[in-house]
Chains A and B, each alone.
Chain A
Amino acid sequence: MSAVKLQNIEKKFGDFTAVHPMSLEMPEGSFVTFLGPSGCGKTTTLRMIAGLLDPTSGDIFVGDRQINDVPIHKRNLGIVFQNYALFPHKTVADNVAFGLKHRNVEKAERERRIREALELVQLPHLAKSYPTQLSGGQQQRIALARAIVIEPDVLLLDEPLSALDANLREDMRVELKRIQEQIGITTVFVTHDQSEALAMSDILVVMSDGRVEQVGDPKEIYSNPTSRFVADFLGTSNILKANQVVKDSKRGLEADAAGFVPMQDTQLSKLEGCNTAYLVIRAEKMELLAKDAPSDERLSLNGTVEAVDYQGQLVRYFVDVAGTKFQVLNMLTGNTAFNEGDEVSVRFHASDCVAVGENN
């Protein structure tokens, strides 16, 4: 187990820059997730750490060891691939044994560690099976067992859950996190699924177009995005172009549909050096009330429900407020559901609003 440090690593393919120079420190034992849409450079970054791609420039450290020029088979990393990549001609036990044999672990010790690894992923009874006899979820557990049995310095997970069914994916997510915490290994996880990223990470790295957009605690990133991309990519947000104004000696943002929203200085300071400001309101931070509901301490906008997207315990409303579309996510409690064409009042706290800036 070791910390991982990326120092100005960059990857170019010809004229195309897949990853712009980035630096990042991943503390020992942390679970770090690279999140972004396809083509954002997250897998490229993982493959550079793995040794499957050479960075164009920059350095990679595992612990104190600089590993740029160390070939993959000497890096001592555990990798779990999207499609499991089990050896189809070897049994489960032989798959798990592969890395141990290449480390010249003697037979008795090897068998003990194989058994332990299979017990860790709760599949000790499948040791003699062949990979094609297993379900997707089982194969993924075996792939994980094979990667961790060699006691790697770092565990690299390349979209390991995306080939699984939705239900299984959520179970495996919990399972994966349990195992990671149990052995306390530094883990780098790549995904395009934001709920996986938010649920599992200690450190979240949001990437877009080969650049790091934001790094930090998942809750912090979700509630306080620092760029328009992050605000848009994570969750459902209403993003309104806004101007900085001072009204009644309060500083705030003013957007066409939302009117004046007073903001904290910590939010407004994020706009320094940017020529465009946006007001961000999370869809679930807004609540729909009947038009004639008594006013409260919240801000209120009047609008009309244009469409209703029923999702079981949640409803997503598309509300027209003075020509601007808002999305509002509300829990369904009691008889609060609104229908298309209803006149409503949209309520939200100014303190739930976030400012993001952009230079373009």
Chain B
Amino acid sequence: MGWTLVRFWTLLVYLFMFLPVAVVVLLSFNANQFGSFPVTGFSFRWFVELAGNEPIIRAFKTSLLLGALTAVISTTLGVLASLALVRYKVPGSNFISTLLIAPILVPEVVLAVALLLFLNFLSVHKSFFMLLMGHVIFTLPFVVLVVQARLIGIRRDVEEAAMSLGATPVQTFFQITLPLLAPAVFAGALFAFTISFDDITGTLFWKPGGVETVPTQIFAMLRNSISPEINALGSVMIFFTVGVPLIGAAIARRLAHKQSR
């Protein structure tokens, strides 16, 4: 009896969380022009209109570029920082570590305003580059956390063995350390990409005039009217932010599996 209630309650909780998502996906295929119930017919109409919507396509390209660059820069910096913190005795390494993680702990709004005021103070104009740097700052902690955890698990003597066999320190990094680190590097890059792709708070503060990412574009569209195109866009976003990490996780698992086979 008790368990039946628990199961029922759990089901309700999941419905509450996922039903809206399902509704968005469902409505995106709705032929009805108001994008609301009842569903009057199955249609790709809104996807077609979406594909023809110049601002959205531009925002999409911006988001992809921003996400990809954030992932590359964040991962590179994160791997280097983790290497320094884990493999070498850096004075104040605890402090540096905390500093790198801090952007997760500070509310994003505070971080966003702070960076904006700081740029103002320096008289630096908002630009795509500054937006990118902002995204790097708050995706870096995720990369550092994931990579550091894995790096601690890679024994130093494996690297020492490689060097004793004739590999230079750089060769050792690329032939031994990096392949062993790959699942974490991959996961970190994926984190960075999805977080950047999803972000709206920081982006609203930092984006220069005329530049829109997908989330800010949706936000702008919602202020005017609720177009069914937003449902279609929602479906595409869901595919990207759920599908891409899932595929990525599968790849990461295969990489890790290959090593521990």
Scoring B residues 140 to 172 as 1 if CB is less than 8 Å from chain A, else 0, what string do you get? 000000000000000101101111111111010
Most A CB atoms within 10 A — which of B155, B165, B179? B165
Question: Which of the 9-residue segments A29-37, A56-64, A71-79, A319-327 touches chain B?
Answer: A71-79
Q: Is the CB of A130 within 8 A of B165?
A: no
Q: Tell me whether A233 is interfacial, beta carbon within 8 Å.
A: no
Contacts A86-B161, A130-B261 known; list 12 others, CB within 8 Å.
A50-B164, A51-B164, A52-B160, A72-B163, A72-B164, A73-B163, A77-B164, A81-B161, A85-B160, A87-B161, A102-B171, A146-B161
Nearest first, the 4 closest Cβ-Cβ pairs linking A and B are A102-B166, A99-B165, A85-B157, A85-B161
Contact A99-B261, Cβ < 8 Å, known A79-B160, A87-B176: no
Min CB gap A68→B, angstroms: 16
Residues of A within 8 A of B260 (CB): 88, 132
Q: CA of A180 to CA of B61 in the docked complex: distance in angstroms?
A: 64
Min CB gap B73→A, angstroms: 26
Q: Is the CB of A146 within 8 A of B157?
A: no
Q: Is the CB of A89 within 8 A of B259?
A: yes
Residues of chain B from 32 to 60 with CB closer than 8 A to chain A in the complex:
none
Q: CA of A147 to CA of B157 in the docked complex: distance in angstroms?
A: 13
Q: Is the CB of A73 within 8 A of B164?
A: yes
Contact A88-B164, Cβ < 8 Å, known A83-B155, A83-B157: no
Residues of A within 8 A of B180 (CB): 88-89
Question: Interface SS of chain A: helix, strand, loop or mixed?
Answer: loop
Contact of B258 among A52, A77, A78, A89 (CB under 8 A): A89
Q: Is the CB of A89 within 8 A of B179?
A: yes
Q: CA of A232 to CA of B259 in the docked complex: distance in angstroms?
A: 46
Residues of B within 8 A of A112 (CB): none
Contact of B162 among A71, A98, A150 (CB under 8 A): A98
Q: Tell me whether A133 is interfacial, beta carbon within 8 Å.
A: yes
Scoring A residues 141 to 175 as 1 if CB is less than 8 Å from chain B, else 0, what string do you get? 00100110010000000000000000000000000
Q: Tell me whether A125 is interfacial, beta carbon within 8 Å.
A: no
| A interface with B by C-beta (< 8 Å) | 50-52, 71-79, 81-83, 85-89, 98-99, 102-103, 130, 132-133, 143, 146-147, 150
The interface on chain B, measured as residues whose beta carbon lies within 8 A of the other chain's beta carbons, has a size of: 22
Residues of B within 8 A of A98 (CB): 162, 165, 167, 175
Q: CA of A103 to CA of B261 in the docked complex: distance in angstroms?
A: 28
Residues of chain B from 222 to 261 with CB closer than 8 A to chain A in the complex:
258-261
Residues of A within 8 A of B160 (CB): 50, 52, 72, 79, 81, 85
Min CB gap B150→A, angstroms: 12
Residues of A within 8 A of B162 (CB): 87, 98
Contact of B158 among A51, A73, A85, A102 (CB under 8 A): A85
Residues of B within 8 A of A150 (CB): 165-166
Min CB gap B255→A, angstroms: 9
Min CB gap B253→A, angstroms: 15
Min CB gap B12→A, angstroms: 44
Q: CA of A146 to CA of B164 in the docked complex: distance in angstroms?
A: 11
Residues of B within 8 A of A50 (CB): 160, 164
Residues of B within 8 A of A51 (CB): 164
Residues of A within 8 A of B168 (CB): 73
Considering only CB atoms, which chain B residue lies closest to A78 in the complex? B164
Residues of A within 8 A of B258 (CB): 89
Most A CB atoms within 10 A — which of B158, B161, B258? B161
Q: Is the CB of A79 within 8 A of B161?
A: yes
Min CB gap B231→A, angstroms: 45
Considering only CB atoms, which chain A residue lies closest to B260 in the complex? A132
Considering only CB atoms, which chain B residue lies closest to A88 in the complex? B259
Considering only CB atoms, which chain A residue lies closest to B261 in the complex? A130
Min CB gap A100→B, angstroms: 9
Q: CA of A336 to CA of B80 in the docked complex: distance in angstroms?
A: 69
